[in-house]
C-alpha cells in the first residue's frame, strides 16, 4: 500500500510537471500540440530516470534495509532436523546463512504423513519419501558461482541424484520459493523429489524490475550450469529427470539460462515458468512467433508440439492436453493470467497499444479497460504491487494452477486427470486455511 501511494504521488507530481511544461511550450505552439509534447517529454524523461542513476542510489539504500530484514526469521520457522534439508544439523549450509526466505523454504512443506494421506486419498500405492530441499544463501560465498557450488554440495550430501525428479529453481529477488509450487511437486511425486534453489539478492522483485535485471539472469545461469555439470557426470540411467522452474522474476532469471526453445529442449527434461515478466526474451520471442489466430494472452506455438500456455483452468483438468494433436517431450509450460500485471507490464505501453487489448479480452479483464497513452503504463505499474494479492486463479496468484502445471511437465507413471483435480483441491484448501 505504501508503495502504491508513493507511485500515486509520483504520478501526480509528473502531471504537474507536464502541465507547467505545456504552459511553457504553449508560448510557441498550439495548446493541443504543447500538451501532447509535454506529456511525451515527461514520460520519456521519467523512464530514463527510473532506469538511471536515481534508481541505483535508491537500490543501494534498499539493499541496506532489506539485508537487515534478511537476518530475521519468520515466526514459526524452526531449524529442520531432517538431513534432507539444508540448514539441518547435518547440512553443509548453516541455518543462519540461508537468509529469511531460505529458512522459510527448508523449514516448511508437506510431511511424510501428509504425503501418505494424499496418496491414500487418490488410491496410489507407492513408497513415500522425505522430500529433499536444498538451498544456499547469498552470504554463503563471495559470488554467485560460489553460491551455486554450495547448492551442488548439498545435492551431493543429500543423495539427491537418486531421486526421480530434480527441479532447479530460480528464486525471486528476496530468495523466495513459492510454497505452493514446492508442495504441488512433492505431493505429485510422493516426496521422490529434490528442489534446488539459491538466493542472489535481498531486494524485492519490483526493485530489480526497475533497476537490476542483470543479477537474476546471472543467478539462473550459474545455478543451472553448476547443477547440470554435476548431473552430466552421472550415468544417464542413474540420474533424476532435470526440470527448471521460476515464478515472476525467477521465471525471467530461469529463462535467461537458455538461448532458445531448442536449447531448453536439449538441456532439460521440461520447464514450468509462471507469471513471466514481459521483458523476458525467450517468452517474448515465443509469444511473437505464435500461430496465426492465437491470442497474446494464450498463444499456441507449432500446434502445441513442445510448449503450451495455460490461463484459466478447465474444470476437467485437460486445458493443456487439448491444444494441438500431439505433445512431444520435453514439455514446456507457461502459466499466465490475463489479469496479471507482472506479465503485461512494459515500457511499450507508454505509446503503443498491446495485442492483449486489441484481441478478445481475457475472462478476468474488465471490458472497461482501455489503452490510453502514458496513463495505461502508470496504471499497470501500480498494478505490479497489488497483483500478488488477487484471489488464486487471477492476477499474480498461481497457487492452485501448479497442480496442472507440474502434472503436465513432470508426470509420474499412472497419474490421471482425476489425480490432478484432487491435487488442485488440496492446494486450494491450503490457500483457504
pLDDT of residue 32: 61
Cβ–Cβ under 8 Å, residues 175 and 139: no
Pairing of strands 270-274, 307-310: unpaired
Question: What is the model's pLDDT at position 372?
Answer: 86
At residue 268, the pLDDT reads 99
Per DSSP, the three-state class of 90 is: coil
Are the beta carbons of 196 and 155 closer than 8 angstroms?
A: yes
Average pLDDT over residues 227-256: 97
Using one digit for the tens of pLDDT, what is the confidence trace for 308-344? 999 877 777 666 766 666 788 899 999 999 999 999 9
Per-residue pLDDT, 2: 44
Quick one: CA dihedral 358, 360, 364, 369, positive or negative?
positive
Q: What is the pLDDT of residue 373?
A: 85
Residue-level pLDDT at 324: 64
**Residue 178 has what pLDDT?**
98
Mean pLDDT of 73-82: 96
Q: Within 13 Å, how many C-alpha atoms sit on residue 154's CB side?
A: 36
| Percent of the chain residues past pLDDT 70, beyond the cut | 83
229-234: long-range contacts (C-beta < 8 A, 24 or more apart)? 230/152, 230/155, 230/156, 230/161, 231/161, 231/166, 234/161
- β-bridge partners, 246: 170, 273
For cell 534439508, the residue is: 85
Q: What's the mean pLDDT in 380-397? A: 84
d(CA 150, CA 168): 14
Annotated domain spans of the chain: 74-432
> What's residue 330's pLDDT?
95
Instruction: Name 298's Cβ contacts closer than 8 Å, sequence gap at least 6.
Output: 309, 310, 311, 338, 362
CA 172/CA 87 separation, integer angstroms: 20
Q: Which of 319, 334, 323, 313 is nearest to 244 (CA)?
A: 334
pLDDT recorded at residue 3: 46
Cell numbers representing residue 265 in the block: 529442449
Cα 408 to Cα 244: distance, rounded to the nearest angstrom:
13
What does each C-alpha distance from 87 to 90, 99, 130 come to in angstroms?
8, 10, 15
**CA–CA dist 204, 70 (Å, integer):** 11
Residue 210 has pLDDT above 90, yes or no: no
Residue 28: predicted pLDDT: 64
Whether 147 shows a pLDDT value over 50: the answer reads yes
Buried b (16+ CB within 10 A) or exposed e, 167-177: bbbbbbbbbbb
Amino acid at each position: 500500500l505504501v508503495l502504491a501511494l508513493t507511485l500515486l504521488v509520483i504520478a501526480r507530481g509528473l502531471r504537474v510537471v507536464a502541465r507547467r511544461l505545456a504552459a511553457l511550450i504553449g508560448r510557441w505552439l498550439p495548446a493541443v500540440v504543447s500538451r501532447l509534447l509535454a506529456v511525451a517529454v515527461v514520460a520519456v524523461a521519467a523512464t530514463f530516470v527510473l532506469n538511471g542513476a536515481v534508481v541505483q542510489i535508491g537500490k543501494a539504500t534498499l539493499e541496506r534495509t532489506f539485508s537487515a530484514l534478511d537476518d530475521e526469521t519468520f515466526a514459526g520457522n524452526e531449524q529442520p532436523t531432517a538431513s534432507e534439508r539444508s540448514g539441518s544439523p547435518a547440512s553443509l549450509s548453516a541455518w543462519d546463512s540461508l537468509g529469511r526466505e531460505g529458512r522459510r523454504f527448508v523449514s516448511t512443506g508437506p510431511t511424510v504423513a501428509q504425503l501418505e494421506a494424499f496418496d491414500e486419498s487418490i488410491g496410489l500405492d507407492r513408497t513415500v519419501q522425505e522430500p529433499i530441499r536444498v538451498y544456499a544463501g547469498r552470504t554463503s560465498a563471495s559470488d554467485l558461482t560460489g553460491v551455486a557450488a554450495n547448492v551442488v554440495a548439498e545435492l551431493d550430501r543429500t543423495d539427491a541424484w537418486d531421486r526421480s525428479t530434480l527441479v532447479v529453481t530460480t528464486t525471486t529477488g528476496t530468495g523466495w520459493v513459492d510454497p505452493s509450487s514446492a508442495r504441488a511437486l512433492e505431493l505429485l511425486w510422493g516426496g521422490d523429489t529434490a528442489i534446488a534453489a539459491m538466493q542472489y539478492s535481498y531486494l524485492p522483485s519490483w526493485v530489480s524490475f526497475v533497476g537490476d535485471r542483470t543479477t537474476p539472469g546471472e543467478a539462473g545461469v550459474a545455478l543451472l550450469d553448476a547443477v547440470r555439470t554435476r548431473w552430466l557426470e552421472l550415468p544417464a540411467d542413474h540420474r533424476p529427470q532435470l526440470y527448471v522452474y521460476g515464478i515472476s522474476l525467477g521465471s525471467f532469471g530461469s529463462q535467461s539460462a537458455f538461448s532458445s526453445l531448442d536449447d531448453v529442449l536439449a538441456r532439460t527434461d521440461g520447464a514450468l515458468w509462471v507469471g513471466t515478466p514481459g521483458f523476458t526474451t525467450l517468452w517474448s520471442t515465443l509469444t511473437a512467433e505464435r500461430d496465426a489466430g492465437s491470442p497474446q494472452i494464450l498463444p499456441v506455438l507449432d500446434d502445441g508440439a513442445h510448449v503450451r500456455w495455460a490461463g484459466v483452468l478447465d474444470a476437467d483438468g485437460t486445458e493443456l492436453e487439448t491444444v494441438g494433436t500431439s505433445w512431444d517431450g520435453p514439455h514446456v509450460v507457461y502459466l499466465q493470467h490475463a489479469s496479471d500485471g507482472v506479465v503485461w507490464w512494459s515500457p511499450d505501453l507508454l505509446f503503443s497499444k498491446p495485442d492483449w487489448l486489441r484481441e478478445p479480452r481475457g475472462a478476468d479483464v474488465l471490458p472497461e479497460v482501455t489503452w490510453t497513452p502514458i496513463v495505461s503504463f502508470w496504471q499497470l505499474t501500480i498494478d505490479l504491487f497489488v497483483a500478488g494479492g488477487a484471489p488464486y486463479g487471477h492476477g499474480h496468484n498461481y497457487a492452485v494452477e501448479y497442480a496442472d502445471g507440474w502434472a503436465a511437465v513432470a508426470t509420474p507413471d499412472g497419474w490421471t486427470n482425476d489425480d490432478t483435480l484432487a491435487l488442485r483441491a488440496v492446494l486450494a484448501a491450503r490457500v483457504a486455511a
